[in-house]
Structure formats: C-alpha cells, structure tokens
Structure 1
Amino acid sequence: MSRSTADSASSVTLPTPKERRRLREALALSEEQVAEAMGVTKATVKSWETGRSAPRGRKREAYAKLLGTYEPDAGRQPPVQTETQAQSPERTQAQAQQPQHQPRRPQAQAQAVDVRPRAAAKRAPKPPKAPAPSPAISPGPARKGPPSPQERLKPAGTADAAPPEPARPPAVPGLTPEEAFDALYAHAAPGLVHQTYLLTGRRRLSRESVEYAFHHAWERWPEVAVDADPVGWVRATAYEYALSPWHRMRRAHKHPDSPPTEANRRALLTALLELPPAYRRTVLLYDGLGLDLPETAAETEASTPAAANRLLHARTVLGKRVPELAEPEALHRRLSALVTEAPTATLPAARVVRTSGERRTRTWTRAVLGVTAVLIGVTGFAAATAPTHYIPVNAPGETVNGVPVRGGPQKLRPEDLELRDILRSEPNPGPERLVPAAE
C-alpha cells in the first residue's frame, strides 16, 4: 500500500462509537459477522463500538464502507463558491431542497431500522448514508416463528416512519469553550434534574448528580465538545451517579422524598421506584425521552435483546401497578408528559459550576502533590540516616519462667549421702551366719 493510499484511508471519518453500534444493528449484523468480514476478532469489534480503539488504514476504510458512512470525497476541499452562486441564494436553497435519490435497502435491513412503538418520537438517529461497495455480508432471510422482543415492542399497524430530528442546542460558530459549556448547561441542566428525580425520587440527589456530571463534562470538555450528542454524554454520567448503590449508605439519601400530592403522579412515581434501577432507566429512556432501542441499549450498556426484555418487563409491572397505563401508548404519553414538564429546581449558574469544578480539581491536585512530596522527603531522610551496617547487641541475662524440671535422678540430700557412705564402708551388714566363712 502506497503512502498516499494509506493517508487517504486514515483520513476516513468514522461515526461515534454509539453510532457504530446503532448502524450495525440497523443493518441486522452481529458482532461475529462484522469480525469475520473485517478479519478481526469479536473483542476488537466490541472495542471499536465502545470507543476503546478504532480501526486504521484499510480496515478503517472497509469498516466505514460496511457501516455505510464512507465518503470517497471526504478528504477533498469543498468547491469554492462562485460569484453567480453567491448572488443567487434562492437558487442554491431550491437545489438543496430537491430530494436526492438513495439506493433501496434490503427488506431485512429496512425492518430492523426502527422498532419504536410510537408515531412521533422526540429523538431518532440519522439515517445512514448511501453505502459504497463493502465486504459481502448477507444478513440472511427473515426468520419465521414467534416474534422477537423487539417486534413485540411495536404495536400492530404502526408504520416505520422516520421521526423528526432531536432538539439540540444551537451550534453558534465562534464560541469560546466557556460560552459553549454555558449554553449546554442552560439547555440541558434543568431537564436533567427533573429526569434524575424521576429515576431516584430524591430532589437533592438529582441536583447533586447533574452538577457532578457537568463537572466531569468540563474536565473532559475537548471530548464532550466533539461528541455527536453532548447532552447524551452528560445524561449518561448523571444517571450513573444517581443510580449508584453507594448512596444508600448516606443518611441524607437513604430514603426517598415525600411523594407528590397528585394521585396519578404519586402512583406512577411509586411504581417506577419499585422497579430495579436498570429497568427504571430503560423505560425512562425509551418511553420517556424517545430513544430507540439500539440507543437505549448502548446507553445502558446492555445488548439490544436484553434492553427489549427489560422494557417489556417494566411495562408489565407498571401496567399491573397502574392499570390505566397497561397500554404502551398510554405509558409513553404519561412519561413523555412527565419528562417535558417545566422543571422547578433552582440550579447554580454555569460559571459557578465551572469554577467550583476547577477549584476542586486544583485542590485535589495540590493535595496529591503535597502527599507525594512528603513521602519523597520521608523516604530520602530515612535513606540518609540509616546505618550502613548493624552490630549485634549482647542482651543481659533474664529470668525465664515456665521451663520444665530437668529429668533424671534428683540431687542427693545430706541424709542420702550419709547412708551411701555407710553402705560403701560396710559391704556385709547383717547376722554372722549369713557371712560366708573363709577357708
């Protein structure tokens, strides 16, 4: 491979890791099929979809072709606008509004694009661009048999209509990082506090979770600023912090706040809090925020079938606890109305969040540097004052108790010594008749 070919392959732009997984599942491909087509292992494909690594060289170009996002002219400069085009903006706008022809996708792929049980969702992924020639992977014929969990989530008679684009903060060119962060905070923070309260039932914990998420977003702002969905990045961090089991050990967050006074809201919030955290988060993302099933599975770090089963179980439990929400459409309308309510929480200003996060980072950095310096000083002092050799010390004698008595014959007393001398001096005691006569 020549150097120019390698440079062009390395300049291919790939979608975000979450979008890679969504495109693969939209094409009805498994990780094993992608790994076999790319000539890599399943673990490598998983690392590409989680953002731990990215393909390079020709594999990068082949991976983009497989996902349908490859653009051969991506590395070229855009054409210079002529004077005639600059003087006729109406003509340019009319040309841009003309529908472009897109290749028809296979039926198996078209059926796997959208599985949402709603007519109008608040958020939807962008459709993949026209795929270029890619490695041949056949998704296989449509399976016959009982419907899958994804198919059961979709009510009968619902058409696969493309939902509108999600609402995002307006991108204004020329903003500084501080201004962009402040715009994201003003756009997403109040709604995230309300959503986190629906997840936890604790108002104080919801505000703390959102502030924690924006602190981390500011610390990693170069990564968040180029993310395709910065609101989703902050939302995932806030949800993870809010649903952490360690909060049960804190007295302030041990019990939920008092439920609302309205009967319908109280019943729904109580039923939500009785669900496991993973099921609660899945039903809020899918039926409340309007994410599709692959995006919900990616944000909850679960497979698509697992997310579908969680959603079905959560709907069943909520339908039993609140009978009027037994239908998926009724539950979707109620959760959407709850999520889109005007938040009432009072949050600190964006500048306060930024400065407090920076102050905390500086404090921890100084503390770590101080402890490290102390450890280095103590280690150096010990190394300088330690003796080069050791002299054994003769310890003074001490009385040792508990030693057993020495075995063998005991020491003779004076009476015993006297008796022994007598026996030795008179070898033949007793009557004379017992003494043998000498001849």
Structure 2
Amino acid sequence: MTESPAHPLPPPGERRRLRKAASLTRAQLAERIGVDRAAVRAWETGRAAPAGPRGEAYARLLAGLAQPGTGRAGPATAPSAWAPAPGGRGDAQRPAAVGGGATGPAGVPSLTPAQAFDALHAFCTPALVRQTYLLTGRRGLARESVERAFHLAWQRWPEVARDRDPAGWVRAAAYEYALSPWHRFRPRHRHPEPQPADPAHRALLDALLRLPPSYRRTLVLYDGVGLDLPETAAETEASTPAAANRLIHAREAVAARLPELADPAVLHRRLVELASAERTHAVRPQPVRTRAERRSVLWTRAAVAATCAIGGATTLTLRTAPTHYEAPLAPARAVHGVPPPAAMGPLSHEELSLREKLRHEDGGGPQRLLPLPG
C-alpha cells in the first residue's frame, strides 16, 4: 500500500483558483517549483498529475496558499508588478451576502458592495494601468481607460460581483476602451507623449505599438499577463487557432525588430521590466464610485428628458395634424407661345353687308346633284 502524501492535492479547478487568489502567474509558480509553465498548465487542467518530489513541493505550496493570510506573505506570492492574476476576489472569496453581520461559507464576514469594489480596485488598478500603457503608449489614456472600466464595473456591480473572474471582466473593459479607434480624433492625442528613458524600453514599446491592435492585445495577454491560449482567445473574442496565429505573427514581428526577444521567456521578462518601469498613478476607489454614480444619474436624467421631449413632440403632432385628406392645389404657371384672344369690337360696313347677305341666302345651301335614271 502506498503512503498518502502529507499534503493531498486539491482538484484541478481549486489549484488554479488558489494560484490566482495569490496573484501568481503560471510562470512564477513554475519557477518556485522548478518546472516549466506547460507542466503547471497541465496540472491545473487535469491533463497530468504531479508526482515525485516536485509533486510534493507543489502540494506543499498549494497547502500554504490555502491557509488564510499566507497567500501574499512572501516575495514569491506578492502581487506582481506586471499583472495580478484574474480573480483577485476569486470564486471562493466572492461575498455570499451583503449586510452587517452576514458571513460567507467559511465563516468570514462578507463585504458590502462598496468594500468589495474598493478591494478589487486597489488590487487590480496598478497592474491594469501598466498593461494598458503597453497597449496604447499613453499614460493619460491608460489611467482613463482603467477608470472608465471601473465606472462600468460599479454601474453593473451585481453582474461583476457574480462573475467567475471579476478582474478579467474589468481588464477586458479597460482594453476595449483603450484600443478604441476613436481616440485618434481627440485633440490631445495628436501629439506624442514622452518616450521611456531607457533605449531598450523605447525600442520594445515602439515594436509593440507597430503591431495591429488585436496582435498587440494577444501578445500582452499571453506573454505578459500569463493567460493560456484558450483564455486569451476567449478574452479577445477569437477562436483558439486565430489567437495562436496572432500570437505567432506578433512574436515574429517583435523578433524581426528586436532579435534578442525571439525567446518567449526573455520577451516576458522584458515586458515585465517595461511595465514596472512606468510610475503610473491611478484614482482612488472612492472618487471612482462617486463619478460612476454621478454619470449614471446624468444618463438617467438625459434619458428621461429625451423621453419627455419625444412624448411632447408626438402629442403636439397629434393635436395639429389634419383629420382628413386635402388635395394639394397645383401652383399656377405661365404659358408662353399662345396669342391672346382678340376682343370683340364694332363690325365694319363690309362685315355688316356680308352678314345681311348671309342671312338672305338659303340656309340649306345649294341643292344636291342627283344622277338621272338612264
């Protein structure tokens, strides 16, 4: 009989959740255990089972992540300077009830909507601003995109709070706003922003900005954030083969300009360094919630005003509209080329003589000629 391990492994879905709750990417977890990222992906999807000393190390690490207060204790489990893993408030951390004194499944007091939103904002905003900067190359637009994404998240908070991946929901909204083509028509976007001071960072950012937006987003999600290919395809609304082709072409384009980044591991490290070098400051969660509520009130008032205007115009139209059909009168037109009629005047002496002569003539005219019988 085999000896059971000291730390039994949780199910594959729970392994993935524990890693994300601790803000660890697959690459970071693989580095701690001494395996590659593909092995961690196989363990989390259930395609392979860890065994041997590395499997025991993996089980001990997951057991430590499952203990309260240890998810972010050490440097290996601290929030990454590049990207928090989706699910900073994971499925098990989602509040089961809202209100004073309510507790979740594990006996932990649940958070109010405002507290939960503030926790998600504080956890995701720094990394999201850095990611969005790599997508746009503009610091102001990066902060604006993340703020607008959280505005939308607060307006739809019941939907976001129940989502399987709230951080991914906000990230997708921020990316969509940042990559909108309408920003090019804004006056302040007609002038370039200062480039990074490091020449290597400038070269990498320039190579990223030369990629098509869909390729750039796929590269950032896969090689930067650390999502796997199906997750990247789902977030970019593409099929898995299409996402793979985008990733391959994006890597080739970057490697063509910067040959030293042909290795995906080196590219990931350089992306982390470039994102961490930018000191971006985001708005605190309280003003974000206040602005989101104010925006909702303004949009509601605008919708009510538009509805009242349409109703008033409809009522006025019904009151003033004709009740029966009236044929339109054709406009008068001048006719050219027709001589005017002559006015009747007094008859001359010759006309009077002719009239008298005609009156005395036989009205039937001359007699008709008939053939004689032969």
Deviations 1:270-325 (A, max 9, x none): 11101100011111111111111111111111111111111111111111111221
The answer for the alignment partner of 1:88 in structure 2 is none
Displacement of 1:344 in angstroms is: 1.9
Aligned with residue 223 of structure 1, among 133, 147, 159: 159
Q: Summarize the alignment of residues 342-357 of structure 1 with structure 2, pairs less than 5 Å apart.
A: 344-357=279-292
The answer for the alignment partner of 1:177 in structure 2 is 113
SS of corresponding position for 1:127: helix
The answer for the alignment partner of 2:203 in structure 1 is 267
Q: Summarize the alignment of residues 306-317 of structure 1 with structure 2, pairs less than 5 Å apart.
A: 306-317=242-253
SS of corresponding position for 1:97: coil
The answer for the alignment partner of 2:75 in structure 1 is none
RMSD across aligned positions (CA): 4.1
Distance 1:226 1:125, change over 3 A: farther
Q: Is the 8 A contact 1:196 1:206 kept in 2?
A: yes
Deviations 1:386-420 (A, max 9, x none): 4775697999x99x55312327x985999x98887
Distance 1:387 1:279, change over 3 A: closer
Q: Greater shift after overlay, 327-336 or 355-364?
A: 327-336
Aligned with residue 7 of structure 2, among 70, 73, 97: 97
Q: Summarize the alignment of residues 294-313 of structure 1 with structure 2, pairs less than 5 Å apart.
A: 294-313=230-249
Q: Name the CA distance, whole Å, in 2 between partners of 1:274 and 1:260.
A: 16
Displacement of 1:370 in angstroms is: 2.1
SS of corresponding position for 1:98: coil
Displacement of 1:193 in angstroms is: 0.8
Residue type matched to 1:275 in 2? Answer: L
Aligned with residue 295 of structure 2, among 338, 343, 360: 360
Aligned with residue 256 of structure 2, among 295, 298, 320: 320
Q: Summarize the alignment of residues 201-240 of structure 1 with structure 2, pairs less than 5 Å apart.
A: 201-240=137-176
Q: Summarize the alignment of residues 242-257 of structure 1 with structure 2, pairs less than 5 Å apart.
A: 242-257=178-193
The answer for the alignment partner of 2:36 in structure 1 is 119
Q: Summarize the alignment of residues 7-406 of structure 1 with structure 2, pairs less than 5 Å apart.
A: 97-99=7-9, 119-120=36-37, 127-128=44-45, 167=85, 168-169=87-88, 171=93, 173-339=109-275, 341=276, 344-383=279-318, 385-386=319-320, 389=323, 400=332, 402-406=334-338
Distance 1:419 1:209, change over 3 A: farther
Deviations 1:10-66 (A, max 9, x none): xxxxxxxxxxxxxxxxxxxxxxxxxxxxxxxxxxxxxxxxxxxxxxxxxxxxxxxxx
Distance 1:275 1:376, change over 3 A: same
Displacement of 1:252 in angstroms is: 1.5
Q: Name the CA distance, whole Å, in 1 between partners of 2:11 and 2:257.
A: 49
Distance 1:313 1:128, change over 3 A: closer
Q: Name the CA distance, whole Å, in 1 between partners of 2:241 and 2:43.
A: 22
Q: Name the CA distance, whole Å, in 1 between partners of 2:229 and 2:151.
A: 29
Q: TM-score, normalised by structure 2?
A: 0.64
List gaps (5 residues or longer) in structure 2.
Answer: 13-25, 48-57, 66-83, 94-107, 358-374
Q: TM-score, normalised by structure 1?
A: 0.55
Residue type matched to 2:251 in 1? Answer: R
**Identical-pair percentage:** 50
Number of aligned residues: 284
Displacement of 1:377 in angstroms is: 3.4
Q: Name the CA distance, whole Å, in 2 between partners of 1:124 and 1:257.
A: 38
Q: Name the CA distance, whole Å, in 1 between partners of 2:269 and 2:171.
A: 21
Residue type matched to 2:291 in 1? Answer: S
Distance 1:327 1:97, change over 3 A: closer
Deviations 1:152-171 (A, max 9, x none): xxxxxxxxxx9999745363
Displacement of 1:258 in angstroms is: 2.2
List gaps (5 residues or longer) in structure 1.
Answer: 1-93, 103-113, 131-161, 427-439
Residue type matched to 2:88 in 1? Answer: P
SS of corresponding position for 1:275: coil
Q: Is the 8 A contact 1:124 1:291 kept in 2?
A: no
Distance 1:323 1:99, change over 3 A: closer
Distance 1:317 1:418, change over 3 A: farther
Displacement of 1:124 in angstroms is: 5.5
Q: Is the 8 A contact 1:282 1:311 kept in 2?
A: yes
